[in-house]
Chain A
Amino acid sequence: MIDKRCRTLADMLAQCPDLHDGAVLLAGGFGDAGVPVLLLEAIAELGLKDLTVVSNNAGAGERGLARLLRSGSVSRIICSFPRSAGSVVFEERYDAGLLALEVVPQGTLAERLRAGGAGIPAFYTPTAYGTELAAGKEVREFDGRHYVMERAIRGDVALVHAATGDRWGNLTYAMTARNFNPVMATAARSTLAEVRHFVDVVPPELVVTPGIFVHSMLEVGA
């Protein structure tokens, strides 16, 4: 019988084969909406090294991704908007030279993840053509317009925050807390979901992330 529900956070992390030094973590969320806060904070306690984190923002205050950055486990971060209100831990570590940063336009970040999840190694986009974010990248002309080649992103582990989930791993999301979560869920070897409420069955027409993309889940409450 398939049952992706875990009893404890410790079980969930211990059973994940892809959390290791040098791993690439995909972290859902936009601002404070839909951030897998408990998972990020639990991974901060594991003493891992040289992690790469892919996330739209770089955390705020001392919670969630900020706590993971504070732990010193992360050496590289890929973001569209790392500098925002309260991103003090990110700024401290970046300014001290302890954190490498790759800035990616937000739509290119989403599409690189979508491509990664869909088995597409690279694609062409007009975004960033003629700017310093396209420096060194292949450019091609299609139908009279210039496009920049961007590579897909795949992660070892995706961390997502969902509203409801059933034992098969089908997920729904709350309003704009959806954001990057469904895209990241498709693009990693292991996808760990913190879910506010387990339900018996997510109605099939309402499933946003089909369970095929989800490996384990933990109920975290509202």
Chain B
Amino acid sequence: MSKPLSPDDIAARVAEDLPDGAYVNLGIGMPMRVAEFLPPDRECVLHSENGLLGMGPAPAPGAESPDLINAGKQPVTVLAGGAFFHHADSFAMIRGGHIDVSILGAYQVAANGDLANWALPGAKAPAVGGAMDLVAGAKQVWVMLAQQVGKDGAPRIVERCSLPLTGPACVDRIYTDLAVLEVTPDGLLVTDLLEGLSEAELQATVGAPLRFAPACRRLRASAA
């Protein structure tokens, strides 16, 4: 098997699938990296749920403003064509089905699209943020998994989530270090597979039965 995809490789693969003109919400952490790989021939408008459309990259050192931050509370910039709005309007965009794609991280995803990404057992005070609104309201929900298999060897793509759900049957696609999968009414369909990895080897890393697209694309990790 070749080297698995790095988080940047996965972000670049996700960015390829974003259509021109899409309004996109990037979750805190790894999904934020997708912004760095948007193809130059496409214009996507990034939504930050704390009240910003047209989110731009981090400002130059010294140019940060405490009044201009993203949902992860990091300083950002605003691009031409952007807008500021209050929280009820921001979540009307999310809950009213105006956001084309929500990209999130996950602890577990199930074959029927159930998502668990907000609470771990033994965590002290729970915190949910906007995740439950995003998965209930965005037109498409895509999940990124830096490692398809947990450090303990347990698959993160499973038949049924054992962790508390963020939302039922809400995930449309899963991008991992080994594959790209679509959630379909007939279960998980693999559309992309890491170069050198056999179908049986991928199946061994997933806790639910897989089907493979006839023209399965091969993924290759970047040299770096």
Residue pairs across A and B with Cβ atoms less than 8 A apart, 8 shown, are A30-B50, A31-B73, A56-B87, A114-B88, A125-B136, A127-B95, A127-B136, A131-B132
Residue in B51, B66, B94, B168 with the greatest tally of chain A CB atoms within 10 Å: B51
Residue in A closest to B74 when the chains form the complex, CB atoms: A31
Q: How far is the CA of A84 from the CA of B124 in the complex (A)?
A: 12
Question: Among B51, B90, B168, which residue has its beta carbon within 8 angstroms of that of A129?
Answer: B168
Contact, CB under 8 Å: B67 / A132: no
Contact, CB under 8 Å: A183 / B137: no
Q: How far is the CA of A30 from the CA of B167 in the complex (A)?
A: 24
B67 contacts across to A, CB distance below 8 A: 33-34, 174-177
B131 contacts across to A, CB distance below 8 A: 105
- Tell me the total A-B contact number using a CB cutoff of 8 A: 151
B52 contacts across to A, CB distance below 8 A: 175-176
B49 contacts across to A, CB distance below 8 A: 106-107
A208 contacts across to B, CB distance below 8 A: 86
Question: Among A31, A107, A114, which residue has its beta carbon within 8 angstroms of that of B69?
Answer: A31
Q: How far is the CA of A176 from the CA of B90 in the complex (A)?
A: 11
B68 contacts across to A, CB distance below 8 A: 33, 175-176
Residue in A closest to B87 when the chains form the complex, CB atoms: A110
Q: How far is the CA of A176 from the CA of B167 in the complex (A)?
A: 28
Q: Which residues of A are at the interface with B, using a C-beta cutoff of 8 A?
A: 30-34, 56, 79-85, 90-91, 94-95, 101, 103-111, 113-114, 125-133, 173-183, 208
Q: Does B129 contact A (CB under 8 A)?
A: yes
Known: A105-B129, A176-B68. 13 other contacts (CB 8 A): A80-B129, A81-B129, A82-B127, A85-B73, A101-B125, A106-B133, A107-B133, A108-B133, A110-B86, A175-B65, A176-B48, A179-B51, A180-B86
Q: How far is the CA of A141 from the CA of B69 in the complex (A)?
A: 37
Q: How far is the CA of A206 from the CA of B133 in the complex (A)?
A: 29
Q: How far is the CA of A125 from the CA of B73 in the complex (A)?
A: 27
Contact, CB under 8 Å: B129 / A175: no
Residue in B closest to A180 when the chains form the complex, CB atoms: B87
With A32-B66, A33-B50, A126-B136: A105-B168 Cβ-Cβ less than 8 Å = no
Residue in B closest to A104 when the chains form the complex, CB atoms: B128
Q: How far is the CA of A132 from the CA of B65 in the complex (A)?
A: 37
Minimum CB–CB distance from A106 to chain B (whole Å) comes to 4
B165 contacts across to A, CB distance below 8 A: 130-132
Interfacial residues of chain B within 33-80, with CB under 8 A of chain A in the complex: 48-52, 65-70, 73, 78
Q: Does B164 contact A (CB under 8 A)?
A: yes
Contact, CB under 8 Å: B88 / A113: yes
